[in-house]
Structure 1
Amino acid sequence: MSTAQLGIARPDTRAAARPVRRPTDGTLRLTRRGRVVILVSALLIAFGGFVAFGPSVIATDESGPKPATITVHPGETLWEIAGRVNPDGDVRSTVDDIAELNGVSDAGELQMGTELAVPRY
């Protein structure tokens, strides 16, 4: 009796697998995942240092210089008051500051004898 050979070959599974590359000279090689881990770690350390040693704000009860108060004289306008309070500054912004500080929406609301709070410049 003789045996017959069929033409079916076994697939070589070792050839399909990717060979593992190992460094031959003793150097360390990082994978893409390793590089990402190192980058993220460095960024977290830098962010932590910024948070720990960065500028900080401390809340206090002090709100800065308190505004001065003036009394409105007869015929005096908000524009004149602003020019007197802040002679070297921009009169328009000073008028806005005084109006905001006192809740004045219309300059016609000013009446003689009214006490106005004015910012210190």
Structure 2
Amino acid sequence: MTRRGRAVVLVLLVLAASLASVVLFTTASRAEQLPSTAPPTVVVHRGDTLWDVAARVFPGQDIRAAVDELRRANDLRGFGVREGQLLILPTAQ
């Protein structure tokens, strides 16, 4: 192989290694940004109040604390919910 041929092969190998590094780095950084799992949720049914939802998803717990946790997890300022609304369930910390 000529000197020029070796140089071309070397340049191609460096380019291939660079491209592979970029692809691997991009894929790894995207994986870090994505949540591993979606948080658990519940859908509000017709006629439900926040207290009804709290009682349904946290049976046996103090209802006031459960309502407060639901409000905090969903950034709710008031106590109103509407049919079809998707509420994120608080997770244990």
Higher helix share: 2
Q: Deviations over 1:48-90 (max 9, x none)?
A: xxxxxxxxxxxxxxxxx96410111111000011111111111
Aligned-pair Cα RMSD in Å: 2.0
Percent identity, aligned pairs only, is 38
How far apart, in 2, do the equivalents of 1:105 and 1:86 lie? 21
Higher relative contact order (CA 8 A, sep 6+): 2
Query: TM-score w.r.t. structure 1 length?
Result: 0.42
Return the index of the structure with the highest Cα Rg.
1
Per the alignment, residue 70 of structure 1 pairs with 42
How far apart, in 2, do the equivalents of 1:116 and 1:90 lie? 19
The size of the alignment, in residue pairs, is 56
How far residue 119 of structure 1 moved from its aligned partner, in angstroms, is 2.5
Query: TM-score w.r.t. structure 2 length?
Result: 0.53
Per the alignment, residue 94 of structure 1 pairs with 66
How far apart, in 1, do the equivalents of 2:38 and 2:66 lie? 16
Residue ranges of structure 1 left out of the alignment (5+ in a row): 1-64
**Aligned ranges for residues 4-23 of structure 1 at < 5 Å?**
none
